[in-house]
Structures are given as C-alpha cells and as structure tokens.
Amino acid sequence: MASISAARKILMGVLLCLMLSLISWKDGEGNMTHSRYFVDSEAGDDHQDGRSPGTAWQSLTKVNSTVFQPGDHILFKAGSIWTGELKPQGSGIAGKPIVINRYGEGDKPLIQGAGAPSAVSLYNQEYWEIGHLELTNTGPTATSYRRGVSIIGEDYEASNKGTLDEVSTLHHIRLHDLYIHDVNGEDRKDGLGSAGILIAVLITDPQDKASPSADAVHERTTFDQIVIENNVIERVERSGIATWSDWKNRELLHDQNGCADCERAPWTPLTNVVIRGNKLTHIGGDGIVPHMTDRALVESNTLKGFNMTSTGYNAGMWTWNGDHTLYQFNEVSEGYSTRDGMAFDFDHASDGIIYQYNYSHDNDGGTLLFCSDGSGGKVTNGIFRYNISQNDKYQIFTICGASNVYNMQVYNNVFYIGPDLDTHPLVSQGGAVQVTLHNNIFFNLGSGHYTGKASWTYDSNLYYGNHIPSMSTIPDPNRLTSDPLFIEPGAAADIHDLSGYKLRIGSPAIGSGINMPTEGMNDLFGDKIVSSNLGAYGGLGEAAKDQADNE
C-alpha cells in the first residue's frame, strides 16, 4: 500500500511539473516568460497545440499565422529543415522580449528562404531576440533583393502620422549566434538592398521616397537598441550587415546644395546600435555598414573577403550619413579590386567617426578612404588612431576628388608594406581635404613612392625603408627616418598576433611623438599609454625577440 502511495505521489509530481512547463518557464536569467512553442519539421503536426516537444507544430505557415505575446519563446528543433520565409507576428515589451531559439541536440535548425525576400523577417515589430538558427536564401537568379534577416520599420504608430515633431521608435532587436550563408541578391545599395542582415526604416512610396510631397507626410520612424552579435555570415550578396533609413535628409548630406527635403524626411538616425563579434567571409559588396546611425559601436568583428561580386564601389567597414560610429578591435582583410576595396572609409555626410585598435591586411584597395562628392556629403572630425595595416595594396590612403573633408586626424598608426608590393604610402590625388598625420610609422620595404599633398599637415612621423621621402616631398619638420626597431614586423597572422609591432628598448620612436589627446586610453595592445611614442605601442620598450628567448 505504501509503495502504491509513493508511486502515486511521484506520478502527480511529474504531471505537475509537466503542466507548469506548458504554462510558463524561466529563461537563463531567471525571468518568467509566457509560453513556449515547439516546432519540428519532421514529427510535428500543425493541429497540435505546439506547447511541448511531443505536441510540436510542423510548418512555418503555422508559426507565421500566430500572434505571439510578450515573453513567448518559439523553439525550432535542432536538425530540422524548413523552406520558405519565417514571418512571425506580435511584439514583446521591455523586459519580456519574444525569443526565437532552438531545442534539442544537433545542427542548428535550418530555414531555407529559397528566393524569398528574406529567410527571417519582422515588420514594425519590437522586443525580439532571434538566435541559433541557420539561414540560407538562394534563388534561381540574383536579380531580386534577398536577405538572410530583414527587420523593417515603416510608418510605425499611426497616432503620430501627420506631424514630424514626434518620432515613433521600435525598440530592442537582438540577432545572435546565427549562421547565415549563400544569399544571392541584386547588386543594390539602399534600404531595399540584399544583405545577410538588414535593419531598415523605409518610406516605400517611390515618389515620396525621392522627395516626399508636403501633403503626403509619413510617420517619422526609427529603431533603438539594435544588437547584432556573434553571427557567422558567408557568401552573401550584396552587403554583410547593413542599417538604413529613408529618413536621411540634413544639411550635412546636402551641404552646398541646400536641404529641400529636410522638413519632409528629416534625418532620424538609428540609435544604440551594437555590431559585435561577427565573422564575415566572402561578402559580395560592403562588409559592415551602419548607415544613418548615431553613436553606433562596431567592435571585435572579422571580415575576410569583400567586394567579391559587386560591380559597384565597396569598402570593408564604413558609415554613410551617420555620426560618431566607433570602430574598434576589428580585422578586415582581402578586399577585392580597387573599386574602393579598402578596409575603412570616412564617407559622405559623416561626423565624428573613430577607427581605433583595428587591423587591416591584404586589401587590394589599401587601408583608408577619404571621400565626399563636392556638392554634398561633407565629412568632418574623423579620427584614425592606433591601427595597424600590414601588406595592404594599391595605396594606404585614397582621396576622392572633392574638398569638403575637414579636420581629419590620423595618428599613432603603423603602416607596414612588405617586399614585392607596390603600395604607395602617401599620395597627392583628389581634392584639398584637410588631414593631419602625427606619430605614424611608415615601414616601406616595397617599391611604392611617397607624394606630398598641400592640404595635408605632416608632423612627427617616421619613414623607414625604401624611397624615404625628401623634406620637399613630405614637409614633416620633426620626421624620423631610422629603423623603428619593431619586435618582428610583418609577421602578424591575425588581430590577436600583433605583438611584433611593439617597439624594442632603445627604439627612436619611443618618446618622439607629439602629445595627443589619449588621456584614459590604452594602446593597441591593451596597455596604459605611458609615453608619447610613434606607432601603436605606448610603452617604454620591450626586449627583442632573441633577448626574450634567452631570458
């Protein structure tokens, strides 16, 4: 009798736990969620309730027809495969996002867009977290726009329509741990362009988009709190990761033309955008482009191979019509062709962009572009510091033809050019842009030459190796031309292997630099800056490699 009673208690306990699991559960942070929905492409059945692995749904159609509630979790079975577009409905709220993830052991759940506009898409939705899926989107041709993930906002919150004094904001989109690959789409660079991941705010009426009429006032919309992290993106056309907004007009963009559309589609940037820890390979056009953002953070990403299939001009990581983007700890390599093809770019209508602690190498188009178009798109207050370029090709800097680029500072960088390369360290092409170069080291073992530029200011840089420029060519009053005594230059394998660019004890570059605004900063190697050096190292000198081996 006692054994029957014990068995009954155990059974009741199991049933109670099962009932609770169907009603609610806690996420990894201990927050109570609403409901879990399971989706299994093989053993599922859309006529079931979807609330447990044993009663899972089967199709994307069932998921797409459901309006999910704050805190809900949509869990796709590992190893399952679906074809089509995932377009779930509903929005979360602060503290209770709707979550898409996986369950079970095995490969990431695969969604094959098969030529759909996107493999996963949200429209005017907020508070979503999407992770641990595999996404492809290959159509029969590349003549339509196509994405892995698209998050679109447009005329959000109709109550604000008719006035541009208020901004309707969509909040909290997190895309993480996705594997996005083999997306073929048309070579188009705007809010409808193809991409691995696209976050965009649109004004979709073609006539309004170009120049919204006064009697067709759309609803001013933007995104806040976008996090794109730890994704792998491969073989994607056209852009790897991109943001965009049709609410883009401002004086900085139009510059000398005047801004006729500023009152009808005023610049409304995406805010609190973080793009971190992503690995991108073989990207058709641009790599990472947080356009129309303010204070975006782009850090610890790896981009290998870009501009691979596009017929246009593409760079690795850059901002168009956006302000104060911080790019740091990124590695950019193997940009293809000199239709741009460089790692980084100060581009049209940008203000206060900073590149620091980045590593570029083996890019056909070189390292850095300064670009405006003369009649519009002024570029101001850019900083390029504590970066290392190794064996970038063509020329270190490329300059567009216009002159409306102001107050650009390039300091404490290292530009290493190995033997057999014809990379030009300094050039004279382009417009009269205002650039100052301080405390940089040009280590040139190749055949490329230096050319001075009248609108540039050179002071306290080191020029070593072949074709050292004369003072008449590069008027640098405090230049050095002796060996900087790097530990092991030219030997870096990746961004985690840059110690060869530290300076040896006794280097002439130690203490020879102009004092720059580096208070509270570390050098490229993460150490406190204690000396005004040339290059990206801020210490007092390191033992040479052979000395260190003997100690």
Q: What tens digit of pLDDT does each residue of 145-178 get? A: 999 999 999 999 866 566 788 899 999 999 999 9
Higher-scoring residue by pLDDT: 31, 258: 258
Residue 379 pLDDT > 80: yes
Cβ neighbourhood burial of 384 (10 Å; 0-12, 13-18, 19+): buried
DSSP letter string, 397-437 = EEE-S---EE-EEEES-EEEE-TT---BSB---SS---EEE
In a domain, 284, yes or no: no
Token reading at 187: 């070579």
Q: What tens digit of pLDDT does each residue of 191-213 get? A: 889 999 999 999 876 454 445 55
Rounded-to-integer distance, Cα 489 and Cα 361, Å: 13
Give the pLDDT score at 218: 81
Which residues constitute the domain of residue 78? 36-156+166-209+217-247
Q: What tens digit of pLDDT does each residue of 283-324 get? A: 999 999 999 999 999 999 999 999 999 999 999 999 999 999
Q: Give the strand pairing for 288-290 and 239-245.
A: parallel
Half-sphere exposure of 370 (CA within 13 A, CB side): 32
* Mean per-residue pLDDT over the chain, rounded: 91
Residue 430 pLDDT > 70: yes
- Distance from the first to the final alpha carbon of the chain: 78
Residue 13 pLDDT > 70: no
Half-sphere exposure of 418 (CA within 13 A, CB side): 11
Cα angle vertex 167, ends 165, 172, to 5°? 170
Residue 1 pLDDT > 50: no
Give the pLDDT score at 400: 96
In a domain, 374, yes or no: no
In a domain, 184, yes or no: yes
Binning pLDDT at 50, 70 and 90, where does residue 189 land?
confident
**Of 415, 536, 423, residue with least CA distance to 464:** 415
In a domain, 276, yes or no: no
Residue 8 pLDDT > 70: no
Q: What is the pTM of this model?
A: 0.92
Domain count, the chain: 1
Q: Give the number of other Cβ atoms within 10 Å of residue 472's Cβ.
A: 7
In a domain, 281, yes or no: no
Give the pLDDT score at 135: 99
Residue 124 pLDDT > 90: yes
Token reading at 245: 């907004």
- Percent of all residues in the chain with a pLDDT value above 70, rounded to a whole number: 89
Binning pLDDT at 50, 70 and 90, where does residue 9 land?
very low
- Mean pLDDT for the stretch of residues 43-51: 98
Are 384 and 368 contacting, i.e. CB atoms less than 8 angstroms apart? yes
Q: What tens digit of pLDDT does each residue of 75-98 get? A: 999 999 999 999 999 999 999 999
In a domain, 199, yes or no: yes
Task: Say whether 62 sits in a helix, a strand or coil.
Answer: helix
List Cβ<8 Å contacts ≥24 apart for 161-165.
Answer: 161/217, 161/218, 161/219, 162/217, 163/217, 164/217, 164/220, 164/263, 164/264, 164/266
Cβ neighbourhood burial of 326 (10 Å; 0-12, 13-18, 19+): middle
Q: What is the CA radius of gyration of the chain?
A: 27
In a domain, 134, yes or no: yes
In a domain, 118, yes or no: yes
